[in-house]
Amino acid sequence: MNKHRTRPVRQAAGLDQRPMKAQCVKRMLIGLGLAMALAVPWASATNYYVVTSSQQPAPTPPWTNWGWAHTNLIEVVAAARDNDTLYVTNNATYNLTNQIIVSYAITVRSWGPGGILDPTNTILSGNGNYPNATNRHFTLNNYGATLAGFTLKNGCESNGGAIWLKSGMVTNCTIVSNVAYNLSTYYGGGGVYMNTSSGGVWNCVFSGNTSSNSGGGICIKGGGPFRIADCIIYGNSGLALGGGIIANPAAAGTIFNNCWVISNYAKTYGGGIYLLSSAQCHNSLIMGNTCGINEGGGVRMGDSSLLRNCLVVGNIATNSSDGGVYLNWNASIKNCTIASNVAYGSGGGLGFLGAYGNNGHPSVENTIIWGNSSAGTGVSNYYIYATNTAESCVAFTNCSTSPNIVSIYASDINTISNNPRYVNDATGDFRLQSDSPCIDAGVNRGWMEGALDFYGNRRIDNFRKTVDIGAYEFLAKGTVFGFQ
């Protein structure tokens, strides 16, 4: 992710973090892009060019250089075929009178100084009479389709205010102030709506988008797997579920990686994220999100979903419970730090509701749940909603929380109830001090080999050999690294 674009958000977060890495994008390109490229037969490619009407009063076919550039992006996309590239000049706003449907393996990208992508100054707007009349910007429906380097604003549709991503890639875009108005449960996506097949979104900013139902920034409903990496999802709202994100894919393997989910709002469930159907969130910051009348200020989880290597801080459930995370069924949390969350009901940090029938039980492993607060009954750090052991049996393994977990509704292995000793929780630095009881107190798992913690350090190094509890691995001063 562009370090200059993310610096203000990092400063606002008050967190000492390294710039987001591109490894996940590389993996995405290897896992998805290469397969897509191999699936498309080779053909000669044509470059097309688009400028504003003021720059080109008389566009001349075939629009294959800047001197002959077209002024109508919709018509150029309709003319393009597999492997073609469309260059759109910057320092302009293009009003789209209809959505653009991309059915071929083409690339539509901005052109800034020296040919770089320029999302800041290349703006695509839904019909210029927004909000009285508007439209979605794009539907991508080809594995090889790529949209890169635009600001997309003022779009509006029942699903996907800016983009309906059936398959393809979206990268380096700013998706802002779009609206989805679908009233059906689990549908929406003020910024992007994903279903049907698979694809990816990376290095994008979603801000100020709204859904009248679910997924203010992103809504995934069906299809998959999808990959979302190195994105900022900031200040979006869903009037039902998932203020920033709702993920309910049909196929397992949908992963959010290295994302910042900040200051989003949901009226009912999951102020930041609502994860279902085996969706996963890795190495992400979930901070300052708000849930209104039900559970999960930061995250609501169910259906085998996973939260791993994440920092969940400063989220709020304003009129309900579970300020940090609410999880049920067989959802799981691994190696996370959940701190400084607030619930005006019960469970400032975590809330649990277990099995429905044979759906399994939630579990939490190698996780710190500390320094959360609750105005209601129950433990501030966690609360277990249960009336009988058949309904709920939460499994805690090698966690750090207080008070000790003593409940007929929970199994507990190696819980630490001493202060985890953050570097400075008052300033938002939740790394571990050298005398933290969480160091080398976790349980090693196979997925940790080669994996990185929230800060970008190796989960299991060649010296200590044992994983720490929480989102961060402790790195002693003077540590020597070997390179091959």
Question: Please, which pLDDT band fits residue 160 given cuts at 50, 70 and 90?
Answer: very high
pLDDT of residue 263: 98
Instruction: Answer whether 402's CB lies under 8 Å from 350's CB.
Output: no
Q: Among 18-27, 240-249, 436-445, 459-468, which stretch is predicted with the lowest mean pLDDT?
A: 18-27
Written as one letter, the residue type at 413 is: I
Q: What is the pLDDT of residues 398-410, one digit of tens each?
A: 999 998 776 777 8
Q: Across-strand partners of 343?
A: 317, 374
Q: Please check whether residue 322 is in contact with residue 382, taking contact to mean a CB–CB distance below 8 angstroms.
A: no
- pLDDT tens for 104-155 read 999 999 999 999 999 999 999 987 565 666 789 999 999 999 999 999 999 9
pLDDT band of 393, cuts 50, 70, 90: confident
> What mean pLDDT comes out for the span 205-223?
95
pLDDT 10s digits, 29-49: 434 443 344 344 445 799 999
Residue 309 or residue 134, greater confidence: 309
28 vs 158, more confident:
158
pTM of the model: 0.88
Rounded Cα distance, 137 and 155, in Å: 6
Q: Cβ of 340: how many Cβ atoms within 10 Å?
A: 23
Q: How confident is the model at residue 471 (pLDDT cuts 50, 70, 90)?
A: very high
| Structure confidence at residue 390 as a pLDDT band (50, 70, 90) | low
pLDDT at position 409, please? 76
pLDDT at 336 over 50: yes
Which of residues 365 and 412 earns the better pLDDT score?
365
Instruction: Label the pairing between strands 400-401 and 151-153.
Output: unpaired
Q: Where are the alpha helices (DSSP H) in 46-144?
A: 73-79
Q: Which residues of 248-265 are buried (b: 16+ CB within 10 A; e: fewer)?
A: bbeeeebbbbbbbbbbbb
DSSP string, 241-275: B-SSEEEE-SSS--EEES-EEES-EESSB-SSEEE
* Whole-number pLDDT of residue 378: 65
